[in-house]
């Protein structure tokens, strides 16, 4: 996509983190914006900020787990702008712990947002974009799905999150290939950020009551939360930088987008293990103190 001015961008999870920075970047490029978020106060703040800059904005409260709400988001977009060019399937949540200790409610919440939210976005918005391409001369479209480095790796006590993000990478690669097969004027990208301060480690604030656990967190879940808080909070790459890199990737029609390109060595090692038929290696080989700290927390130390 070369021209952004007056094009329509739809962004889920737009009230904070990457989503808010995608919106700010799009606004700076003269885009018309559709903001979606499940957190109403954050959504209202984002809307007010952008309206004050003179940006054309439509804000829609949306829980991406629910197909009907994503369909309503699409319907509202078309009713207001009659077009969609750039879609960020970005809403996401985090949860951890030993994989056998995650409850059914944990799985339903994390997969509901991280995976089904992207599925609904792809399933609903891609046909709309294909229809727009038939009506608009010189149409350019792009879909960006937010995954994670956890979609390429499998660190311990992050199993439920790893599963959701691996599925997003697979879905995105499949989308890319299918669009190429039908020669659509639409590109696709998958964003795989590492640890970036975005607020995802506090995503439980938006967990619906129906999917909350009655029992308290296990030792492994407390350990995973503590490690997530520290890793995310100490991240040196900002959400602003990630948004800039993502828009650059859209310009270049680049599929894989990384926040930390220098952190890809573990991905290479994992691929070599797969191709070589070797057992998975220790993800903390280079930082054994992290492994021992995690084990200590699991023992309650």
194 is catalytic: no
Catalytic one of 161, 176, 256, 284: 161
Query: What percent helix, strand, coil does the chain show, rounded to 5?
Result: 55, 15, 35
User: How big is the chain by its Cα radius of gyration, in Å?
Assistant: 19
The SS3 of residue 276 is helix
What is d(CA 192, CA 13) in angstroms, rounded to the nearest whole number? 16
CB atoms within 10 A of CB 289: 8
What is d(CA 231, CA 192) in angstroms, rounded to the nearest whole number? 16
Burial class (CB in 10 A: 0-12, 13-18, 19+), 291: middle
What is d(CA 23, CA 32) in angstroms, rounded to the nearest whole number? 9
Instruction: Answer yes or no: are the C-beta atoms of 211 and 108 closer than 8 Å.
Output: yes
Instruction: Answer yes or no: are the C-beta atoms of 247 and 29 closer than 8 Å.
Output: yes
* Half-sphere exposure for 88 (CA within 13 Å, toward CB): 32
Residues identified as active-site: 161
């Amino acid at each position: 996509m070369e021209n952004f001015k007056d094009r329509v961008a739809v962004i889920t999870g737009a009230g904070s983190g990457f989503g808010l920075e995608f919106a700010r970047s799009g606004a700076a490029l003269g885009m018309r914006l559709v903001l979606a978020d499940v957190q109403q106060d954050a959504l209202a703040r984002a809307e007010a900020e952008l309206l004050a800059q003179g940006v054309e904005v439509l804000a829609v409260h949306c829980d991406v787990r629910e197909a009907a709400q994503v369909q309503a988001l699409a319907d509202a977009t078309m009713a207001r702008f009659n077009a969609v060019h750039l879609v960020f399937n970005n809403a996401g949540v985090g949860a951890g712990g030993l994989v056998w200790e995650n409850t059914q409610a944990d799985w339903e919440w994390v997969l509901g947002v991280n995976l089904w939210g992207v599925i609904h976005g792809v399933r609903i918005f891609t046909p709309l974009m294909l229809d727009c391409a038939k009506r608009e001369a010189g149409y350019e479209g792009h879909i960006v799905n937010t995954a994670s480095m956890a979609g390429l790796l499998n660190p311990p006590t992050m199993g439920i999150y790893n599963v959701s993000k691996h599925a997003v990478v697979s879905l995105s690669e499949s989308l890319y290939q299918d669009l190429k097969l039908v020669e659509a004027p639409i590109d696709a990208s998958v964003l795989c950020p590492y640890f970036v301060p975005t607020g995802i480690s506090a995503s439980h604030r938006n967990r619906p009551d129906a999917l909350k656990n009655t029992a308290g967190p296990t030792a492994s879940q407390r350990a995973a939360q503590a490690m997530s808080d520290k890793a995310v909070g100490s991240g040196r790459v900002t959400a602003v930088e990630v948004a800039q890199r993502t828009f650059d990737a859209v310009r270049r029609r680049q599929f894989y987008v990384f926040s930390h390109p220098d952190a890809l060595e573990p991905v290479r090692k994992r691929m070599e293990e797969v191709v070589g038929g070797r057992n998975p290696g220790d993800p903390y080989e280079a930082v054994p103190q992290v492994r021992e700290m995690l084990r200590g927390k699991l023992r309650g130390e």
